Chain A
């Protein structure tokens, strides 16, 4: 029976065992009934516990074998005999589930679930969670701010929705070793954010897989990018016009960055790839004082050793230091999008689009080395962030509108947010200040252990695909309740299409199967695009290309 009373009666939930011990902090121990085999159970499933007054929704985090006495284990019964195995299995030897209480279910679906503050009584019966139980908790897509990213493992019929309102309130992370579907999950989240109209996104698209189309290597098909699905609500910029054209991508503008837009901090962020010496910061500061704003252009235009020698003398620096810096910064010349004198209209344009509430994907084309990526992402984001800070402050002072929230997507995030450089980059700032200025991050990364712990702890919602490395597993669950239990679960996720979602935007930590990125998804999006017309219009006005 559905909640409105129509439809057939649902099958009664199956009883699987009873609570035999546990605590709020350590989770509950559930002894399985004799008829229930441990092999039917699995970590990542949900069960409900019927206490005397409350119903608890719990997540299975471990399955163990136990026997009533040590003697049974040391002198094993004759389990080759099917009768003895059947009789003693579940009684003399039995299965135990370790379950983590996640929520107290409300008596009626209309009320919100409550956090867990106690445990059920001894021997409270435990049932398999039903689809309705989970629907009550996750909500559904009928609420406009919900977006389905997948289904709980083993429960494909239940949509797992994330609350986009809560998602964009904080910075978030998508983690997983390479090849686990991070990009697909990220693209899905972006579709959800854009559809909701609650925020715009700015994607630094290192591998050109968000804007127009991408390849699903598993299924060997092309999948649609944001621009194809949302049309003019998404604008594609490129750093490499030629590559974009070759790939038949409809881009809107080409981005160039001038030397004068680079700040010393931007270059310090690149200390490693540029091989900057320890004296470089001082020298750059001196150069800026000496030449003014265009110091980099002037410095790199010095032809011949004689000119550099003279400069070294003027500044009072060792010639070696100057020559080394010249050589290091000379590497910037091979970045095609960096121009001594740039046409910065593209950057202005990008800002305007964002102000209109549209989303922007910046493709890197063939320029996908880390040096270029970090430089561009940092320079542009700093510029945009500055703009948002101004707008927000004006709004707080009573002028203008509150800027529409912006989600900035960066890949290889550990390079920007490592403890060593997090202070230099704008991303460290954004992650720490949370949503104060309406700008948040969506970090996509395969080495979460490289990310500064402070930044990590600020992430609101984490989408964690399969990870192997111990340190990554450790760091990705920083500051999460029930961490050791979730860790077991995480270490056993499939490497394909599975993820653990936890944090601000989901009511409970949930291992999910990520939904398929295919026609049915596209259809859903299109329906919604024409769905609530006021939402569309509010967001994008009557603008058409």
Chain B
């Protein structure tokens, strides 16, 4: 399976990058693993905040569907609309690879503008999440605000790629328990998210 190209980097920093998606509403689900940068040193990120808004910040969309049964009809009748909006998402950098070895730390330099961004294949995601050091990187993020939601989503997705998702959930849960030992309340809330939506 080849990785699906989803967009390009339009804003970049050491710990995060913003991706403009080629398709309106075409961002991968929350917590998905994406890859960007040159193939010999890809940078990995997790899909965090997804935002769809008007291309021109001065033009706000107006409601158009009073007469429609299905919102999809609005786009069918006004095909130009897809050109007036765009979908972006912010990816939290969780590691990079060098000489084939995955490192779950920040890359020496961030991806560049217009680097292509790919949604990782299940196999790539599985390889990357064999180690769980990226959880520490994630937990330290202060933005986007619901970082724990992102953590939970990332772990659930990674579990979904595996033949024994429960075992992975327990392994990741234990890693979280270690990292969040001083904060048991946060840990519990996080664990419940892992559990109940798994």
Min CB distance B9 to A, Å, is 36
Complex Cα distance, B187 from A35, in Å, reads 19
Q: Kindly list chain A residues whose C-beta atoms are within 8 Å of the C-beta of B166.
A: 83
Min CB distance A95 to B, Å, is 15
Min CB distance B162 to A, Å, is 16
Number of A-B residue pairs having CB atoms within 8 Å of each other in the complex: 52
Min CB distance A37 to B, Å, is 14
Q: Kindly list chain A residues whose C-beta atoms are within 8 Å of the C-beta of B131.
A: none
B182 to A69, Cβ gap below 8 A? yes
Pick the contact of B170 from A72, A81, A87 — CB < 8 Å?
A: A87
Min CB distance A71 to B, Å, is 5
Instruction: Tell whether A285 is near chain B: CB-to-CB under 8 Å.
Output: no
Instruction: Tell whether B46 is near chain A: CB-to-CB under 8 Å.
Output: no
Q: Kindly list chain B residues whose C-beta atoms are within 8 Å of the C-beta of A68.
A: 181-182, 184
Task: Among A68, A90, A91, find the residue whose CB has the most chain B CB atoms closer than 10 A.
Answer: A91
Pick the contact of B174 from A69, A75, A81, A91 — CB < 8 Å?
A: A91
Instruction: Tell whether A34 is near chain B: CB-to-CB under 8 Å.
Output: yes
Q: Kindly list chain A residues whose C-beta atoms are within 8 Å of the C-beta of B21.
A: none
Of residues 145 to 198 in B, which have CB atoms within 8 Å of A's CB atoms? 166, 169-170, 173-174, 176-178, 181-182, 184-185, 187-188, 191-192, 194-195
Instruction: Tell whether A78 is near chain B: CB-to-CB under 8 Å.
Output: yes
Min CB distance A66 to B, Å, is 12
B177 to A88, Cβ gap below 8 A? yes
Q: Kindly list chain A residues whose C-beta atoms are within 8 Å of the C-beta of B194.
A: 83
Known contacts A83-B191, A84-B188; A92/B170 CB under 8 A: no
Majority secondary structure of chain A interface residues (helix, strand, loop or mixed): loop
Instruction: Tell whether A86 is near chain B: CB-to-CB under 8 Å.
Output: yes
B185 to A71, Cβ gap below 8 A? yes
B181 to A92, Cβ gap below 8 A? yes
Min CB distance A92 to B, Å, is 5
A78 to B185, Cβ gap below 8 A? no
Complex Cα distance, B176 from A90, in Å, reads 13
Known contacts A69-B182, A69-B184; A91/B191 CB under 8 A: no
Known contacts A81-B195, A84-B188, A84-B195; A91/B181 CB under 8 A: yes
Q: Kindly list chain A residues whose C-beta atoms are within 8 Å of the C-beta of B169.
A: 83, 87
A75 to B177, Cβ gap below 8 A? no
Min CB distance B20 to A, Å, is 38
Q: Kindly list chain B residues whose C-beta atoms are within 8 Å of the C-beta of A91.
A: 174, 177-178, 181
Number of interface residues of B (CB under 8 A): 18
Complex Cα distance, B178 from A68, in Å, reads 9
Complex Cα distance, B165 from A83, in Å, reads 12
A34 to B182, Cβ gap below 8 A? no
Known contacts A75-B184, A92-B187; A83/B177 CB under 8 A: no
Pick the contact of B173 from A69, A75, A78, A83 — CB < 8 Å?
A: A83
A86 to B170, Cβ gap below 8 A? yes
Residue of A nearest to B176 (CB): A87
Complex Cα distance, B189 from A78, in Å, reads 10
Min CB distance B84 to A, Å, is 45
Q: Kindly list chain A residues whose C-beta atoms are within 8 Å of the C-beta of B191.
A: 77, 83-84, 87-88
Complex Cα distance, B94 from A149, in Å, reads 61
Of residues 38 to 95 in A, which have CB atoms within 8 Å of B's CB atoms? 68-69, 71-72, 75, 77-78, 81, 83-84, 86-88, 90-92
Of residues 346 to 361 in A, which have CB atoms within 8 Å of B's CB atoms? none
Residue of B nearest to A74 (CB): B184
A71 to B174, Cβ gap below 8 A? no
- 7 smallest CB-CB distances across A and B, nearest first, come from A87-B173, A91-B177, A68-B181, A83-B195, A72-B184, A92-B177, A71-B184
Binding site for A on B (CB under 8 A): 166, 169-170, 173-174, 176-178, 181-182, 184-185, 187-188, 191-192, 194-195
Q: A81-B192, A86-B170, A86-B173 are in contact. List 8 more A-B contacts (CB 8 A).
A: A69-B181, A69-B182, A75-B184, A77-B188, A83-B166, A83-B191, A87-B191, A91-B181
